[in-house]
Structure 1
Amino acid sequence: MTRPESGGNIDPPPRRAESLWRHGGFLRLWGGETTSQLGAQLGGLAIPVIAVVVLHASEFEVGVLGAAGTLAFLVVGLPAGALIDRMLKRRVMLRADLVRALAMVAIPVLWLAGLLQMWQLIVLATITGIARVFFDVAYQSYIPVLVKRDQIADANSKLETTSQLAAIGGPALGGALLTIIQAPLIIAATAVTYLVSFGMLLSIRDTEVPAPKEGRRPLAVEIREGAAFVWDQPLLRRIVSYTALNNLFTGLAFTMLPVLILRELGMPVAVLGASISVAAVGGLLGAASSNRLGAWLGEGTIIVVSAVGSGIAALVFAAMTVVPPEAAVPVFIAAEFLMSFTVVVYNVSQVSFRQRICPTPLLGRMNASIRFVVWGVLPIGGFASGVLSTAIGVIPVVWIGTIAAFLACALVVFSPLTRMRTLPSEIVEQAADVAAVVQQNAEAHDREPDGDARES
């Protein structure tokens, strides 16, 4: 492996980062997020089961339901980032948790009243998706506010570790509960976990202050700044392009997962939950080892290796449809294990990468711009999955999506990331220059008359 010239790199930190185990605010955030992640896993399993088993949804309706949960990233993703940069991020997360809890409570209430219908499930999924956009963008932007820069990678790794623990326990618990409890009642537990997250966030004390009102410019201008930062960074542009294509094509394939497993392959719900849980051990290992793998392979190389690995995992997943029936579950577990491992390593690596190079005033807009692209394609993939599955069948759509997802890896494979061991110093310098320009623009806006500001 070729090492870049030392002059093009930044030196490693001269001292060891302080332990996050002594950081009370982070520990509360971590605890609340772990609990809500467990609830989200329960809901993520129970809602498709409600659609397929309780409401007898068609393939098209399942596709629309999958699109509804992520449509908000496409519709409100960009303005959410600019708004969050103006607000206290913890307060945004508190409100989002309350909205998600209320939306989840509505499902068992409607079901117990005998009123639950598919359109209501889609509407509630959309509301939850909007709250998720604001929570996720604020959450990713809050990490650099809450912890020091040299603690960011460790914080992301810890959060991903418990996220994967929830992915192990959640589906297994959900699968077991579904054998004794009706699916709509499990959603009530998801609502409780969002309330626990709310309580944990409420107890955090931080030093964040809202951006001064006098420095604000028209929302469209601030949105463009965030999008321009992402576009003007060539490496970041490649990462975002690959992630978007991968999400589009895996969304095309995986939206039909409950239909494929429960109808096409005839697996019981309990097997679905247990299989996902066993496979999620890969995600746990990925979260625990991402920092070491990044140090061993290099900051850029690990992004490429994990992207290729997830593409291979997608192909293994599709192979489940052509192997003998007795081999379908082991192949499914292997695919999910590898997919979870590689996706988590990829996410920890690239999220830490972009958090380190982005100026603090642009964090919300940068994250929202990226989420708009990489998550905004999910409702497109979900809707297309429903349409195509109705037209040509579920299994052909799974193969189309997984092959295309594998080919998308070329965007990062044929890039400087492949041989990049450390973050080039010029990227950090460019980020500092961007921060200076943003500050100058805000100060210039403060000096303009009100009429000029409105016209801009």
Structure 2
Amino acid sequence: MLWPLVKSNTALSLAMTAWDVLYLIYVVRELHWSPVALAVVMGCASVGGVVGALAGRRLARPRGRWWGVGPLLLSALALQPLILLPVLFAGPGLLWQIVIGGCVTVRFAGATAHGSTQRSVRQGVCEPQYQGRQQSIGTWLTFGPRFLSALGAGVLVSAIGLVPSMAVAAVATAGGFVVLLHSPVRRLRIMPTTSGG
């Protein structure tokens, strides 16, 4: 369970880092957002995070065949590339700022529900004496190479342009979903526990 979760998190983290770097350039340079508009829309991320944190635990409870921990994790990951697509077609103006604010809210709700749930799974399957080690290794593998992703995004923009690079980053966010789809995590319905915890 641990290795697919860490690989999935790493794939998503790398893609989202590339997206976030390009997104900020896009809304400022191409959509001509003011600093206030950008701040308000980015504030939507906090709202989404709170919603995801509150809803994640309830959504992870098994309810029939299609609900539970694994389906929540897969649904949250599947949501990521889909919610980025409207941004690629955005234009200037208040309407698009509202649409993108909604997308940011949903994206962070899904990301927070996913993050807290996968962390709970990792803690549940790991013996207590290895909790710190699995957390530090997972964090290092997930966040350590992000600078390479930001650098790669810059190189990609130089090669194919800003919007096509954003499309590549959006599609790449599906990598985390693909990893979990082909792992035992997808069949997980209830939160696991170790014999020692």
**Structure 1 residue corresponding to 2:150, chosen from 382, 393, 396:** 382
2:163 & 2:137 partners in 1: Cα distance? 33
Which residue number corresponds to residue 97 of structure 2?
329
CA shift in 2, pair 1:352/1:424, >3 Å: closer
CA shift at 1:299, angstroms? 2.5
Q: After superposition, give the CA deviation of every residue in 1:17-42 in whole Å (9 maximum; x if it has no partner).
A: xxxxxxxxxxxxxxxxxxxxxxxxxx
Unaligned runs of 5+ in 2: none
For residues 44 and 11 of structure 2, what CA distance do their matches in structure 1 show? 27
Paired residues for 1:131-142 under 5 Å: none
3-state secondary structure, aligned to 2:173: helix
Residue of 301, 306, 309 corresponding to 2:79: 309
Query: TM-score scaled to structure 2, two decimals?
Result: 0.86
Shift of residue 277, structure 1, vs aligned partner: 1.3
Please name the residue that 2:46 is paired with.
Answer: 280
Residue by residue over 1:178-236, the C-alpha shift from the partner in whole angstroms, topping out at 9 and shown as x without a partner, is xxxxxxxxxxxxxxxxxxxxxxxxxxxxxxxxxxxxxxxxxxxxxxxxxxxxxxxxx22
Per the normalisation by structure 1, the TM-score is 0.39
Within the candidate set 22, 26, 41, 1:256 is matched to 22
Q: Is the 8 A contact 2:123 2:131 kept in 1?
A: yes
Match of 2:188 among 412, 417, 420: 420
- Deviations 1:237-276, CA, capped at 9 Å, x for gaps: 1111111111111211211232212112110010000012
Percent pairwise identity: 21
Distance in 2 between residues matched to 1:374 and 1:312, nearest whole Å = 22
Aligned AA for 1:303?
L
Instruction: Please identify runs of 4+ aligned residues in structure 1 that moved more than 4 A.
Output: none
The RMSD of aligned alpha carbons is 2.1
Q: Is the 8 A contact 1:308 1:409 kept in 2?
A: yes
Matches within 5 A, 1:42-441: 235-296=1-62, 297-314=67-84, 316=85, 319-326=86-93, 327-423=95-191, 428-429=194-195, 432=196
Per-residue deviation at 1:414?
3.2
Residue identity opposite 1:277 in structure 2: G
Deviations 1:340-386 (A, max 9, x none): 11000001101111122323332222111111211123111011112
**Greater Rg over alpha carbons, structure:** 1
Number of paired residues? Answer: 192
Change in Cα spacing, 1:424 to 1:349, as seen in structure 2 (3 Å) is closer
